[in-house]
Structure formats: structure tokens, C-alpha cells
Structure 1
Amino acid sequence: MNRLFNRLFLVATIISLMLFVALWQWLQLNHEFSRNQIQQSLHQELADHMAHINPLLSKGITSDAALKEAFHDFMLLGPSFEIYTLDPDGKVIAYDAKEDKIKNHRVDIGIIEQFLTGQSLPILGTDPRSNNTQKIFSASKLINADGLHSGYLYVIIGGEDYDSWQALINAENQPKIWGATIGFWGIFALLLFVMLLRYFTRPIDKLARDLNQLTALPMSENLTLPKRYRGSVEISQLSQHINHLLQEIQQQQQQVKRQQQTKHDFLLHLSHDLKTPLTALLGYIDTWLILPADERDEALIQYAANSGQTLQQLLAQLLELAALENGQIHAQLQSVELTELLSEIQQTFTPRAKKLGVTLNFEQVNVSSILTDPQLMRRILNNLIDNALRYTPTGGEITIFTQQDCNQGKNQQWLAVKDTGSGMHQHEVEALRQLSLSPAAVQQDKLTFDNNQALPQLGVGLAIVRQLLGLLKCKIEVQSQPGIGSEFKIELVTQF
């Protein structure tokens, strides 16, 4: 019963039965109306003929006892008729029946006048033998010897005896008629609705079968439903929507696979970054341990400590990158003095740059205040400068400066970090350039990528830079050549 076809069939059967009952009632009423119209039309002049051939009625006599005998003779000729004489006000005067059978002693004269004036038949009048039944009749005016209106001859067509025989016959034939009619109608309705319901539900069944077949196929294949379904427009639109959803699911699955592969490659790259300082740390310690006590150099311990610090820094960056990807870090934009921010960074990296023999230049900036999150911007600059220091050889130079560009009438302010280090390969540069933000990502402060865009193959530091720039909604431009150096330019927001 839960199937759509069964529910539709049940509802359609109930509706068809209700329609059949209504149709049957209408046919019965129409049949009765036609029968009354025919009978009353055939006997329209009956009362006139009776009044004409009877000597008493022809003289306008309405209350003579001899009329009862005449009425009896008339009814023997036509037992389905009941004959009455009425006074001019419609009161019943003479009749051929027992007194207790007369229930209504007055007949509506207005109805008789409608009949006499020739209005459309059938016209139903008062039945003296019933308080609530009306029947077809024939009537004639009675005129006495003085030419005065003395009353009416009122003849009921299809009287009490006729109704009794009609009820008896109907009681015998009605079950047969009803049984045959219901049987025929039921079979007809069954066949009709089975064909119609099958026709209308066939597209739904086909859609359900196609979906069941799709569930058995792997998601890696190009899953799609047939493009056309015969039937209603809704079924066709539903199949199109399902195909659209299947395409989106396949695209998302492919994106997830690409991201999983990229993360796997990223972990391999990260393991190499972690392995290098760890190997150096263990190598310096092992060298220090195997040397005799009098030959052990404290520089080995210092080198080991430096490798440990590098390892600790990588692990901290890895935890920060995980927090960024999980959406645990949000940007709190505010007005920040750029000179103060750069001054803090200069104090942080100047000792290290001197130790490495790298020149660290902070040029005069021409931007006073910017709209950013100071902590996130500090992390971005720290990672860029730290990355530049690690890949810039001794005697190299790192410069931090601001730059203004006029693009299509709009002034853009940039903060640049330029080094003379080993540079980046083209695929790493493209990975940073492909930064993109969706409206949902901007609203949730999360970095997202296009459907066909893989995660960047960058070091941990640059991967963090990429994520933080997404939170700050900042653009980045990168120019780099292996062996020459790199330049990172970050767009600054100066309008509040």
C-alpha cells in the first residue's frame, strides 16, 4: 500500500465509485423526470374527457353521491388513476377511497392553474393520499348549468396502486440492475484506471529502476540518468536535478581525491623537512658521543641545539597549519600602524641576519595605517622573512619595502619582501598565485580552492602564508627565479 501505484489506484477507485453513485442518482432523477413528462403529456386531456363523458361532471356537479360510482368505473378502466373533485378553493369533495386514506384535504390551486395555462410539463401537484408527496396529474375546470365555475376534476396519474406495484417490481429487479451495473462499471473502471495509472506511473518506476542501477555502480564512473523521460514535465525536471547533483557529487569526490593525493605529497615533503634537522641533530649528538672526552667540541652541541630549534619551529608551524585548516583561527581586523609592526619584526630578525651574514634592509614606508589583524600579519611577515633567511646565502640581501601601483585609476599599496636567495620553482610560484576565495569562505573566514585546484606543493611556512592571506582576504604576487631570488608582494588594505 505504500507504493505510489497502489495509493493512486485506491484513491481512483474510491473516486470512481463516488462518481458512479452520483451518476446513477442523476440518471434515476432524469429517468423519473422523463417518465413523468411523457405520462403527463399523454394524459394531459384525461380530465377533460372524463368530465365530458360523465353526465354529472359535465353539468358541474362535484358532490353527488353518484360520482363515487362513476369514479369507481373510471378506475376500473385505469387502475393507476385516482379521481377527485375539488371546490373552487381546492378542497377535496368527492373521491373513491376510504376516508382514512385521505391525508390531505386541500389541493394547491396555483399548481392546477399552471397546468391549465399550458406551462411546461411535468408539473407535480398535491397528492391527497400523502402529506409530503407530489405527483403528476390531469385537471379540468367544472362549469355548472348557470355557466359558473363550480370546481375542478383532479386526476392523479400513477396513484397508490401504481406506486405499490412499481415498488414491488423495483424491489425484485433493483438488485439485479445494481449488481450488473456495478459489476460492469467496476470492471470498466478497473481496466481504465490500471491503464491510466500504469501510463502515468511508468516514468516514476523507470526513474526508480535507473536509480537502483546507479547504486550498484562505483562513484568513479560517469554516473548519469537517461536524458529524457516520457511523462510529465516534473519527472523530466527531477531527472535533470538528479543528474546535476550526481555531477556535483562526482566533482566533489574528484576534488577530495586530488586533495588527499596532494596532502599525501605534502606530508612526504614535510617528512623531508623534518627529517633533515632531526638527522642533523642526531648526527651531531652521535659524533659528540663517540669522540673521546678530551676531544669533544662544544660547537657540536651548539649545532645540535640549532637543529633542535629548527625541528621545534617546524613542528610549531605544522600545528599552526592544522589549526588554520580546521578553522580554529579567525581574523580580527583593526587599524594597525605599519611602521610599528615592521619595527617589531626588524628587532626580531636583525640579530639572526647578522649571525648569518645576510643584510636585512627595512626601507622607509609611505603607508601609515592599514586594516588588518596584527597577529596574523606578523605571522605572515615572520614566515616570509624566516623563509628568505633560510634560503639566502651569506652575503645576500633581504629588503622589506612598500610600493604603490595605479591600476585602472585605483591606487594599490603593496608590502614587498625581496631576497637574493635560491629562488622558487615555477610550480611553487603558481601554487601561491592560485589563491582564490569563495563567498562562503569569505563569510566563514576560511580559505577554499576551486574544484579543479589542487592544494599547493609548498613548504610549511609558505603553506601557512597562503592560509593566513585567505583569512585576511589579501592578494599576493610572487616573482621568483631559481638562483636569482624571490619577491613577495602583499596587497595592503588602507581604506576603513
Structure 2
Amino acid sequence: MNRLFNRLFLSATLVVLLLMLALWQWLQLNHELSRNQIQQSLHLSLAEHMAHINPLLSQGITSDAALKEAFHDFMLLGPSFEIYTLNLEGKVVAYDAKEEKIKTSRVDLEAIGKFIAGNHLPILGTDPRSENGQKIFSASRLMTPEGLHSGYLYVIIGGEDYDSWQALISAEHQPQIWGATIGFWVLFCLILLVILLRYFTQPVQKLAKDLREMTQSGLDNLGEQNHSLSLPSRYTASSEIQQLSQHINQLLGEISRQQAHLKRQQQAKHDFLLHLSHDLKTPLTSLLGYIDTWQLLPEDERSPELIEYAANSGQTLQQLLGQLLELAALENGQINANLQQVDLNQLLEQIAQTFNPRASRLGISLDFTLDKPMTIYTDPQLMRRVLNNLVDNALRYTPEQGSIRIYTETLNHQHWLAVADTGSGMHKHEVDALKQLSLSQFSFEYSQALPQLGVGLAIVRQLLGLLKCQINIDSTPGEGCCFHIQLQNVRA
């Protein structure tokens, strides 16, 4: 019952049956109207001839006693006719029937007037033997020899006896006629419906079959190179089916592209984790090596420098793990930006206080002082983490006697914050690799280590994305790097 064909078939069958009943009723009414028109047309002058040939009627006599015998003769000649005489007010004066059969004693003269005037047939008039019934009739004026109008001769065509015989015959033959006619038309319409429904639903069935086969074959191969699912171009029955197949193909194409993108992301993330494990392995090996060496040495030969080296390796390892957890939190949407007006001079002063001791030990000068006061619209905590990552990286790759500067610049009416160092710099392919946005988009050769600031810049980019800022990288090998951060709503 849930199939489209079955529902359409049942609905159409019900509609056809209702239409057949309505058509049959209309044919019955039309047949009765045509029969009445023919009968009344054939007996149009019946009353006039009766009045002319009967001596009493030709003299305009309408009394009951004088006309009984004449009515009886007329009824024998035509038992399907009922004959009445009416006075000028339409009251029934004479008739050949038992008195109890007369239900209505007054005939509507308006219908008689239309008949005598020659209006379009059929015209229905009052049936005296029925309280509210109407039948076709023939009528004529009765005129006295002096030319005075004395009444009407009113003849019902198809009287009570005629109706009784017709009802008897109809009751006998009507079921056969109804059964044969309705059976034929219902069978014909059902066969036609089945053919039409098969024709119109065949494209839908083809579409359902293709989708079922596609589902059964599985979607595991979606996203592989040179492989995408699509429906065959064979739905030509209607524009709606063609549009539906095109939309399905578009969805399948989009699913295929997304699946391919997800597989590339999974592969890139897998490669990234392999590289990350390589970078984690180096400080971990150093940490364990220094500790093992310290334990193997005699107590009087154990150097504090070994513990310091081990501590530095542990800090490096801790930093990498912290960066990885921070990047995962950013990608999972666990960190949100709280944008507000921030004093950039004060923020840079706090960062300088954080890194001054380390920079002094390394022999690197820091210059984070701006020429003028400046306020920016940002999240102070997130911006501080961005600058901390950049400055920390610069300290690791800037040699002794080098310098790190943070300053502002204006390019094309846009304010930027620059973090520049005089370190080793990066090659173009390393800069291109660092332009990726997240952990899932890193892709490097496994034989290589992660580029400088790999995880750190991924964090920086994610944080700047929350702050709605852009970042650009300029680098020359052997001369240093400069990171440009776009600033929002600057007020000097």
C-alpha cells in the first residue's frame, strides 16, 4: 500500500468509479429529457385533434357527465394517455378515473400557456394523479360554437398505466443493463489506468532501482581518485524526473567531493601525527639519555649540567604536548573570543616583561615599544598567546647578538602589527607549508621534520581566525622572518 503505483491505482480507481456514477446519472437524465421531448413532439397536436373530432368537445362542453363516454373511448384507443377537461381557472372538471386517484384538482395554467404558445419542448405540467409530480402533456383550448373560450382539453402523455409497465420492465432489465455497462467501462478504465500508471511511474521505479543498486554497491569508494557515483542519463519521461535525477547527481557529486576531502584530511592528519611523533621522540630521547648518563656516572662525577640538559628536553617535550592539546581544543571549538578594546602598548609591555630574562641570557635584544599609544579591538588573552608563540619561536631561531622587534605599520589604509627577527629565516617551500590553516591540513614528506613553528603557527592561525585577523609571512633565508598581523578597529 505504500508503493506509489498502488496508491495512485487505488486513488484513480475511486475517481473513475465516481465519474462513472456521475456519467451514468447524467446519461439517465439526458435520456429521460430526450424521450420526453420526442414523446411530446409526436403528440403535439393530440389534444387539438381530440377536441376537433369529438362532437361534445368541439362544442366547448367541459362537464363530467357529458364527457364520460367520450373519455372512455379515448382511453381504449390510447391506454397510455390520461384525458382531463379544465375550466378557465385550471380546475379539473371531467376525467375518466376513480375519484380517489385524483390527488391534485388544479392544473398549472402557466405550463399550458407555454405549450399553446409553442415554447421549446419538453414542457412539464401538473399530473392530477400525483400530489407534486409533473409529466409531459398535450393541451388545447375548448371553444363554444359562438367562439367563446370555455376551458381546456388536457392530455397526460404516458399516464399511470404506462409508468407501471415501464417500471416493471425497467426493474427486470435494469440490473443487467447497469451491470454490463458499468462492468465494461470499469474494466476498460482500469486497464487504461494500469497502462498509464505503468508508463508514468516507470521513470520513478527506474530511479528507485538505480538508487537501491547504488546503495547495495556501497559508498566506500566515494572520494577515491577518478571515482564518483552518478545516475545514468535515462530519465526522459518528464522534466520533473529529469530535474530530480540532476539534483541527486549534484548531491552525489558533492558527497563525493566531501568524502575525498575528508580522506585527504585524514591522510594529512595521519602524516602530521607521524611527523609530530618524530619531533616528540627527539627531546624524549635526549631526556632519557641525559638521565641514564647521570645515573651511570659515579656520584662524585655527576654533573649538574646533565640535569639541566634533561630539564630543557623535558620543557621542550612539555611545550610540544601543550601546543598539540591547544590546537585540538581550537579545532574542536572549545575556545571562544571575547572581543573588547585593548591597550596595545600595555599588552606589548607585558610580553616584553615575560621574555626579557630569557632574551638577556641568549644575548638577544627586544624592542617592543611603539611610537605612539594605540588601542585595538581584540581578545587580550588570545592576542597575548599569538604574540607569545611568535616571540618564543623567534627566540629559538635568532642567534646571539640578534634582535626581535614588534612595531606597527600602515599599508593601503590598513593597520598591521609586525613581529620581525634576525634569525635564520625560512625557504619559500617552508613558508608555503606554513600557510596551512590547521592540523588536519598539514602535509609533509615523512623524511623531513616539521617546519619551524609548524604546530605553533597552526595555533596562531586558529587564534587569529577567532579574532578575525589575517597573517602574512615574509622570510629570507639567513636574514630572518617577519610576521604581519592585521589589526581591527585601531584608535591611535
Aligned to 1:491: 486
Query: SS where residue 90 of structure 1 aligns?
Result: coil
Q: Aligned AA for 1:413?
A: H
Deviates more, 1:137-146 or 1:40-49: 137-146
Q: CA deviation at 1:385?
A: 1.0
Q: CA deviation at 1:455?
A: 4.1
Map 1:121-132 onto structure 2 (within 5 A): 121-132=121-132
Q: Aligned AA for 2:259?
A: Q
Aligned to 1:316: 322
**CA distance 1:434–1:297, change in 2 (3 Å):** closer
Deviates more, 1:163-172 or 1:190-199: 190-199
Aligned residues: 477
Please list the CA deviations of residues 159-189 of structure 1 after superposition, one character each: whole Å capped at 9, or x if unmatched.
0111011111111111111111111101110
Q: Aligned AA for 1:418?
A: A
Which of 465, 468, 476 in structure 1 is aligned with 2:463? 468
Aligned to 1:70: 70
Query: SS where residue 191 of structure 2 aligns?
Result: helix
Map 1:368-383 onto structure 2 (within 5 A): 368-383=374-389
Please list the CA deviations of residues 190-241 of structure 1 after superposition, one character each: whole Å capped at 9, or x if unmatched.
1111121112211211111111122124324311123462233222222222
Q: Does 1:245 align with 2:240?
A: no
Query: For 2:20 and 2:140, how far apart are their aligned partners in 1?
Result: 42
**CA distance 1:174–1:455, change in 2 (3 Å):** farther
Query: For 1:461 and 1:111, how far apart are their aligned partners in 2?
Result: 106
Which of 397, 411, 414 in structure 2 is aligned with 1:412? 414
Contact conserved, 2:64 with 2:95, CA < 8 A, in 1?
Answer: no
Query: For 2:212 and 2:429, how far apart are their aligned partners in 1?
Result: 44
Query: SS where residue 37 of structure 2 aligns?
Result: helix
Contact conserved, 2:415 with 2:490, CA < 8 A, in 1?
Answer: no
Aligned to 2:448: none
**CA distance 1:297–1:434, change in 2 (3 Å):** closer
Q: Identity percentage over the alignment?
A: 70
TM value normalised by structure 2: 0.93
Aligned to 1:421: 423
Q: CA deviation at 1:390?
A: 1.5
Map 1:147-296 onto structure 2 (within 5 A): 147-215=147-215, 216-218=217-219, 219-220=222-223, 221-227=227-233, 229-296=235-302
Aligned to 1:22: 22
Q: CA deviation at 1:265?
A: 1.6
- The alignment yields a C-alpha RMSD, in angstroms, of 1.9
Contact conserved, 1:47 with 1:154, CA < 8 A, in 2?
Answer: yes
Please list the CA deviations of residues 228-280 of structure 1 after superposition, one character each: whole Å capped at 9, or x if unmatched.
62233222222222112112111111111111111112212221222122111
Deviates more, 1:224-233 or 1:42-51: 224-233
Query: For 2:477 and 2:272, how far apart are their aligned partners in 1?
Result: 21
Query: For 1:190 and 1:349, how far apart are their aligned partners in 2?
Result: 90
Contact conserved, 2:436 with 2:442, CA < 8 A, in 1?
Answer: no
Q: Aligned AA for 1:65?
A: A
Q: CA deviation at 1:495?
A: 4.2
Aligned to 1:104: 104
Contact conserved, 1:36 with 1:122, CA < 8 A, in 2?
Answer: yes
Q: Aligned AA for 1:108?
A: D
**CA distance 1:306–1:179, change in 2 (3 Å):** same
Query: For 1:481 and 1:269, how far apart are their aligned partners in 2?
Result: 25
Query: SS where residue 225 of structure 1 aligns?
Result: coil
Contact conserved, 1:366 with 1:402, CA < 8 A, in 2?
Answer: no
Query: For 1:340 and 1:269, how far apart are their aligned partners in 2?
Result: 38
Which of 303, 312, 332 in structure 2 is aligned with 1:306? 312
Contact conserved, 1:432 with 1:456, CA < 8 A, in 2?
Answer: no
Query: For 2:228 and 2:331, how far apart are their aligned partners in 1?
Result: 30
**CA distance 1:185–1:455, change in 2 (3 Å):** farther
Query: For 2:425 and 2:213, how far apart are their aligned partners in 1?
Result: 54
Q: Aligned AA for 2:304?
A: E
Q: Does 1:340 align with 2:346?
A: yes
Q: CA deviation at 1:315?
A: 1.8
Q: Does 1:384 align with 2:371?
A: no
Contact conserved, 2:64 with 2:93, CA < 8 A, in 1?
Answer: no
**CA distance 1:312–1:454, change in 2 (3 Å):** closer
Q: Aligned AA for 1:461?
A: G
Q: CA deviation at 1:64?
A: 4.5
Query: For 2:283 and 2:359, how far apart are their aligned partners in 1?
Result: 20
Q: Does 1:396 align with 2:417?
A: no
Query: SS where residue 65 of structure 1 aligns?
Result: helix
Structure 2, gaps ≥5 residues long? 445-450
Q: Aligned AA for 1:402?
A: T
Aligned to 1:438: none
Query: SS where residue 441 of structure 2 aligns?
Result: coil
Query: SS where residue 256 of structure 1 aligns?
Result: helix
Query: For 2:105 and 2:310, how far apart are their aligned partners in 1?
Result: 132
Q: Aligned AA for 2:229?
A: L
Q: Aligned AA for 1:488?
A: F
Q: Aligned AA for 1:301?
A: I
Contact conserved, 1:398 with 1:417, CA < 8 A, in 2?
Answer: yes
Q: Aligned AA for 1:430?
A: D
Deviates more, 1:220-229 or 1:204-213: 220-229
Contact conserved, 1:456 with 1:463, CA < 8 A, in 2?
Answer: no
Q: Aligned AA for 1:127?
A: D
Query: For 1:163 and 1:364, how far apart are their aligned partners in 2?
Result: 117
Contact conserved, 1:428 with 1:456, CA < 8 A, in 2?
Answer: no
Query: For 1:121 and 1:149, how far apart are their aligned partners in 2?
Result: 25
Q: Aligned AA for 2:110?
A: G
Structure 1, gaps ≥5 residues long? 436-446
**CA distance 1:206–1:82, change in 2 (3 Å):** same
Aligned to 1:477: 472
